[in-house]
Amino acid sequence: MWLGWRYGVVMLLAAWPACGLQVYNNFYSPRNPEREARTDTRYIILHTTEAPGSSALPKLSACGEANFGVDTDGRVYRIVDHRRTAYHCGRSMWDGRVNVDDHAIGIEVVGYHNKEVTRAQYQSLGVLLKELQFRYRIPDERVLTHSMVAYGAPNKWITRSHRGRKRCGMLFARADVRQKLQLQSKARFDPDVRAGRLINGDMYLAKVLYGNAREQEHLLAQSSPAGASVVSAQHSVWDIARDSYRRADTIYIYPDGTRRAGNQIRDWQAVPLGTKVQVADTSPAADSGSTADEVQVIGVDGATATEIAGDEAWSASTLYLLRDGRFLRGSQMPVPARDKLPAGTRMLVGYSAGGPVPTARLAQEVCGARWRQPDTFYLMPGGTLKSGREMGNGMLAKGTAVFYRN
Ligand SMILES: [Zn+2]
């Protein structure tokens, strides 16, 4: 045990300026060999695990969902090599660039989005940031939080793609917190909301991220504690659970004592005021999305295309997977067909499509490094849908279509 721990200790990189930072390899991810080297590194994204290190760090390692983890005792763990792509942002955009993982180093700080981290964490995270910023020439204003870059597809509450999908890492936008990390400047506004690419889906979050120091203090004082919250006229299910609302492990306890899981609720309007919501543990492994969340089905719980995709139902980035094995973009869907889409039609919102491929070829040639991601999908000639995780060596049969997040 002792020996293993000793040998786990290595210096970050000998060529970096000597700073004395030790990086531990105890959680070095088995996913490393399969991850592409990034060709562009312009951001550092800070996350909070929303779970203790004892559960979060092994999950991050198993799934390769961060480049570094910083535990409460200040220890820095290498998870995915800093030169390779870690999957930590999920659906994300910043300044018009989508899939921020392709442009960023991800650091998971063990802690919660609305709670102070430890002194030891401030200290070692500060040193780690300095090292990485020096190495990649990343200015302070490009040290961002996951909550800044994550965005959501339209849902029952918000009919357009929106910021506010997550509050992860929110505290690292606070002026006092950045000061402790010796970050002198920060992004002053949300470039994608300003440019109209997204709308703002979480007013509270936007104020914490871009308010001045006094506003931030004031807001945090009124922030509700983590854990169970109650649906009220002021707090919708969406306000409380954000993008975890439909999950099987988000639990709703109605005032009459009835318990429902997020995936069992059909009519969201009918969730009574006074319902207690226990939001699922939004640990990192849940971040990159699962098949169940991405592929939506018309007719399930009576859902129509516009209920699922809102204003983006008929846009080119909403894909319809027809039962006969073909697919259509929303913009190609003839108007008369829109009202008659049969139950069972599968939908992907916020996606690009490649193919069907005219001859057998490698998936990488169609969608690059994303080919093996769990939220990349393959529509086989017979109509079967597979996720990137199920794709073996990535050789696509003639006629396979590829869908990947845009
Ligand atoms: Zn995060």
d(CA 134, ligand 1 centre) in Å: 23
What confidence tens digit (pLDDT) does each residue in 130-155 have?
A: 999 999 999 999 999 999 999 998 88
How buried is 92 (Cβ within 10 angstroms: 0-12 exposed, 13-18 middle, 19+ buried)? buried
Query: How far apart, in whole angstroms, are the C-alpha atoms of residue 291 and residue 268?
Result: 22
User: Which of 176, 166, 172 lies closest to 217 in space, CA to CA?
Assistant: 176
Q: Which two tokens stand for residue 182?
A: 């010796």
Higher pLDDT, 349 or 239: 349
Residue 5 has pLDDT above 70, yes or no: no
Which letter, b or e, does each residue of 268-285 get, where b requires 16 or more Cβ atoms within 10 Å of its Cβ? beebeeebbbbbbbbbbb
d(CA 285, ligand 1 centre) in Å: 10
d(CA 59, ligand 1 centre) in Å: 13
DSSP string, 339-393: TTPPTT-EEEESEEEE---SS-EEHHHHHGGGGG-TT-EEE-TTS-EEEGGG-TT
Query: How far apart, in whole angstroms, are the C-alpha atoms of residue 270 and residue 139?
Result: 48
Query: How far apart, in whole angstroms, are the C-alpha atoms of residue 61 and residue 397?
Result: 32
Look at residue 6 in the predicted model and tell me its pLDDT.
Answer: 39
What confidence tens digit (pLDDT) does each residue in 48-90 have?
A: 999 999 999 999 999 999 999 999 999 999 999 999 999 999 9
d(CA 352, ligand 1 centre) in Å: 23
d(CA 220, ligand 1 centre) in Å: 19
Name which of 4-13, 15-24, 91-100, 199-208 the model is least confident about: 4-13
d(CA 181, ligand 1 centre) in Å: 19
* Identity of the amino acid at 310: G
- Kindly list the domain boundaries of the chain, sorted by start residue: 2-222, 229-286, 291-405
- Record: fold of 2-222: Lysozyme-like (3.40.80)
Look at residue 249 in the predicted model and tell me its pLDDT.
Answer: 83
What confidence tens digit (pLDDT) does each residue in 151-170 have?
A: 998 887 888 999 998 999 99
d(CA 272, ligand 1 centre) in Å: 30
d(CA 61, ligand 1 centre) in Å: 15
Residues facing residue 351 across a β-bridge: 405
Q: How much of the chain, in percent, has pLDDT values that exceed 90?
A: 55
